C-alpha cells in the first residue's frame, strides 16, 4: 500500500474527514456506514467498540471500499475525493486505544474517548489497500 498512497492521500486520511465505508451483505448488496479512519504504518485502520454489521460483513467477505471527501475543489469546480478499495481483517481488542488516538484528530487533543470506565476491548479493522482512485492528486 505504501507505494499506492502518496503524501496527498496520506494527508487526507490523517485529517478529520469522516470516511464512508462500504461492505457487502450476504446477498451481495452494499452496506454503507461512516467511520473514523487513520493509518497504522501502511494499513488503513478503523475501530469499533461493538460488533457492528460492517464487521460481520467483513468476516464473511473481506472486500471493502472507503471514500474520503476532501475540502478542496479542483480547477473544474469538482470537490476532490479519495476512494480506497482493498481487503480488511478484523481483530478483537485494541479498539479503545485506537479510538482515543483517532478522537484527537476528529474531536480535539483534550478529548477522552470513549468516555466510559472500562470500555469493552472492541474490534480493530485493518485494511490492505489494493486500489486507489477518485478525483484529486492521489490519482494518476
CATH at 52? 2.30.110.10
Residues 71, 131, 42, 57, CA torsion sign = positive
Does 1 map to a domain? no
| In the predicted structure, residue 106 carries a pLDDT above the cut 80 | yes
pLDDT for the residue 1: 42
At 140, is the pLDDT very low, low, confident or very high (cuts 50, 70, 90)? low
Q: Report the distance separating Cα 33 and Cα 42, nearest Å.
A: 23
Residue 57 domain flag: yes
Split at pLDDT 50, 70, 90, the class of 3 is low
pLDDT recorded at residue 41: 85
Q: How many domains does the chain have?
A: 1
| Per-chain mean pLDDT for the chain | 94
Q: Does the residue 2 lie in any domain?
A: no
Give the model confidence (pLDDT) of 44-81 as tens digits: 999 999 999 999 999 999 999 999 999 999 999 999 99
Amino acid at each position: 500500500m505504501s507505494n499506492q498512497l502518496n503524501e496527498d492521500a496520506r494527508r487526507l486520511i490523517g485529517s478529520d474527514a469522516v470516511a464512508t465505508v462500504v461492505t457487502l451483505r450476504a446477498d451481495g448488496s452494499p452496506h454503507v456506514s461512516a467511520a473514523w479512519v487513520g493509518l497504522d504504518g501502511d494499513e488503513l485502520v478503523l475501530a469499533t467498540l461493538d460488533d457492528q454489521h460492517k464487521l460481520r460483513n467483513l468476516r464473511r467477505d473481506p472486500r471493502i471500499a472507503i471514500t474520503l471527501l476532501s475540502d478542496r475543489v479542483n480547477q473544474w469546480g469538482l470537490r476532490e475525493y479519495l476512494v480506497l478499495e482493498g481487503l480488511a481483517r478484523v481483530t478483537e481488542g485494541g479498539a479503545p486505544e485506537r479510538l482515543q488516538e483517532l478522537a484527537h484528530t476528529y474531536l480535539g487533543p483534550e478529548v477522552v474517548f470513549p468516555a466510559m470506565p472500562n470500555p469493552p476491548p472492541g474490534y480493530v479493522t485493518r485494511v490492505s489497500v489494493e486500489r486507489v482512485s477518485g478525483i484529486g492528486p492521489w490519482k494518476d
